[in-house]
C-alpha cells in the first residue's frame, strides 16, 4: 500500500522571528520544531498508517453454498459402533448473505435445516428444529465441503461426510 501523500509532513516552526510552515520529508531531522508538534505529527502518521490497511483490506465474497452436495457419511456411536451410511445427498436450496436453508433425505425421512457461514468464510453450522445435535462444517474448496454432525446424550453420535457439489 502506498502512503506517498503521508510521507511529507508539514510542521509549524516555532521561532520568535519566523512562524512559517516548514515541510519535512521522510526521516529528516526536525530541528527547530517543538516536541509537541513532533508528537502530533507522529501520532497522525501512526494513526493513519494503522487504519488504512484495515480500510484497504479487500473483503472476501461470501461463499455460495446453494446446490446439491453428495458424499459418504461415516459415523461412530455407542449403539451403532463404526458405520458407513453410504451416499448422503444434501440440498442447500436458498442463501441470503451468510444465512442458508436446505434439506437432506435419509431412510427415516427428510430433515429441513438452516444455518450460517461464519465471518471467516470457511466455517459454517446448521441446525434442524427436530434434531438434538449440530452440524459443523468447513468449506474446503468451491465445490467441496466437510460436514460433521455431533449429538450428545443417550443417542450420542459423531460423524462426518466430505461432500462434492454436483454440477
Cα–Cα distance measured from residue 125 to residue 99, given in angstroms and rounded to the nearest whole number = 10
Q: What is the mean pLDDT of the chain?
A: 77
CB 103 within 8 A of CB 112: yes
Check whether 73 has a pLDDT greater than 80. yes
CB 104 within 8 A of CB 115: no
**pLDDT for 125:** 98
Calculate mean pLDDT across residues 9-15: 42
CATH code for the structural domain at 67-165: 2.40.160.90
User: Exposed, middle or buried by CB within 10 Å (0-12, 13-18, 19+), for 145?
Assistant: buried
Residue 143, SS3 per DSSP = coil
Confidence of residue 75 (pLDDT cuts 50, 70, 90): very high
For residue 155, give every residue at least 6 positions away whose Cβ sits within 8 Å of its Cβ, in sequence order, or none. 77, 79, 132
Nearest to 138, CA basis, from 151, 152, 126: 126
Give the count of alpha carbons within 13 A of 167, CB side only. 3
Check whether 29 has a pLDDT greater than 70. no
Confidence of residue 2 (pLDDT cuts 50, 70, 90): very low
The region of weakest confidence among 38-42, 119-123, 140-144 is 38-42
Calculate mean pLDDT across residues 121-137: 94
Check whether 127 has a pLDDT greater than 50. yes
Domain layout of the chain by residue ranges:
4-56, 67-165
Check whether 36 has a pLDDT greater than 70. no
pTM of the entire predicted model: 0.64
**pLDDT for 142:** 95
Percentage above 70 pLDDT, the chain: 64
Whole-number Cα distances in Å, 161 to 35, 103, 136, 145: 63, 15, 11, 8
**pLDDT for 34:** 57
Amino acid at each position: 500500500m502506498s502512503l506517498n501523500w503521508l510521507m511529507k509532513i508539514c510542521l509549524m516552526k516555532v521561532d520568535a522571528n519566523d512562524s512559517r510552515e516548514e515541510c519535512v520529508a521522510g526521516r529528516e531531522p526536525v530541528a527547530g520544531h517543538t516536541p509537541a508538534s513532533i508528537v502530533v505529527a507522529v501520532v497522525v502518521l501512526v494513526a493513519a498508517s494503522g487504519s488504512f490497511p484495515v480500510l484497504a483490506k479487500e473483503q472476501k465474497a461470501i461463499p455460495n453454498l446453494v446446490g446439491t452436495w453428495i458424499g459418504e457419511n461415516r459415523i461412530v456411536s455407542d449403539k451403532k459402533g463404526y458405520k458407513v451410511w453410504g451416499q448422503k445427498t444434501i440440498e442447500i436450496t436458498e442463501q441470503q448473505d451468510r444465512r442458508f436453508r436446505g434439506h437432506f433425505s435419509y431412510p427415516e425421512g427428510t430433515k429441513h435445516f438452516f444455518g450460517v457461514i461464519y465471518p471467516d468464510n470457511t466455517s459454517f453450522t446448521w441446525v434442524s428444529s427436530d434434531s438434538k445435535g449440530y452440524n459443523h462444517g468447513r468449506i474446503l474448496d468451491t465445490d467441496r465441503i466437510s460436514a460433521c454432525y455431533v449429538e450428545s446424550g443417550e443417542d450420542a453420535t459423531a460423524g462426518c461426510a466430505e461432500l462434492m457439489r454436483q454440477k
